[in-house]
Amino acid sequence: ERLHLSENLAVYSELMGGIAHQLNNPLIGVVNFSEVLLKEMDRDDPKKNLAETISRASKECLRIITSVLNCIKDPYLTFSRIDIHEILTNSLQVAQEQFGDSLDKVSIKTLWNPNLSPIWGDGIQLKQCFLNILTNAIQALPNGGSLQIETKYDEKTKDVEIIFSDTGIGIPKEYLNKIFMPFVSLKKRGKRHGLGLSFAYQIVKNHGGHIHAQSESGLGSTFTITLPAS
C-alpha cells in the first residue's frame, strides 16, 4: 500500500506540476494587466475596488503556483525559519473568510504551546496544507460542533506537533488508509476532486515530517502533523 501510494503521488506530482506550469503564464498576464488598469484609473473611480481585488487575488494565485512548482522541483528552495502559530492563525483567518456564516454553529478553539520552537519550511506551502485540513474539518461539521487546533513540542525528539481535532461525521474505517491518495474523496462526485489531503501529505513529506489520521464514523477525526523543529 505504501508503494502504491508513492506511485500515485509521483504521478500526481507530475500532473500538478504540468497544470501549475500551464496556469503560470496566463496568470502573469492577469497580474500585469490589472496593474496597468489600476494605474490608468482615477483615484475616485467606483470600479477601482474591483480592479484591486483582481490584482490581489491573481498575485495570491501566482504565489501559490510558484510555491507548488518549487515544492515539486526543489522543496527546500524557499525554506526559512517560520513561526507555526503565525501560519496557523493566517490559515484560520482565510478559512473563516471562506466559510463565513456557516461557521456560526462551529466552536473553534486554539491551544498554542508558548514554548514552540520555530521550524524550517515554506510558509505558503504549509498555509495551503493547514487550510486543506481545516476545510475538510469544517465540511465534516454540517450541523455544527467543535474544532480544536493544538500545538505541542516534544523535547526528546525536537519535533513540533500540530493537532486538528473535530467532532464531525468522521471517516469510515475502510477509507482511513486511502485518504491521502490523489482523487480519493468521501464527498459527492463532482463537488470535490479528492486532492486536498494528498497535497497536504506531499507538503508535510517535503518538510521531513509525517501526517497521521485517526477517525471513526460519527465520532469525529484527528489529524496530527509532526514536523522537525529548526
166 pLDDT band, cuts 50/70/90, is very high
Backbone angles phi, psi at 219, to 5 degrees: -120, 15
Quick one: average pLDDT of 150-177?
Answer: 89
What pLDDT does residue 170 have? 87
Neighbours of 209 (CB within 10 A): 19
What pLDDT does residue 115 have? 86
Neighbours of 101 (CB within 10 A): 6
Quick one: average pLDDT of 131-139?
Answer: 91
Q: What is the mean pLDDT of the chain?
A: 83
133 pLDDT band, cuts 50/70/90, is very high
Q: Output the nine-digit C-alpha cell for 110.
A: 486554539
CB 108 within 8 A of CB 147: yes
> Which carries the bigger pLDDT value, residue 69 or residue 100?
100
Which of 12-21, 46-55, 136-145 shows the lowest mean pLDDT across its residues? Answer: 12-21
**CA–CA gap between residue 130 and residue 123 (Å, rounded):** 10
- Name beta bridge partners: 192: 189
What pLDDT does residue 74 have? 64
Which positions ≥6 away from 79 have C-beta within 8 Å? 120, 121, 122
Q: What is the pLDDT of residues 178-227, one digit of tens each?
A: 777 766 565 554 445 446 788 888 889 889 999 999 988 888 999 999 99
Task: Give, as one character, the DSSP assignment of residue 102.
Answer: G
Which positions ≥6 away from 108 have C-beta within 8 Å? 92, 146, 147, 148, 149
Q: Is 211 left (phi over 0), alpha (psi -120 to 50) or beta?
A: beta
Segments in the chain forming alpha helices (H): 2-40, 48-73, 84-99, 123-139, 196-206
What pLDDT does residue 152 have? 94
Neighbours of 23 (CB within 10 A): 15
CB 16 within 8 A of CB 68: yes
Q: Is the pLDDT of residue 18 over 80?
A: no
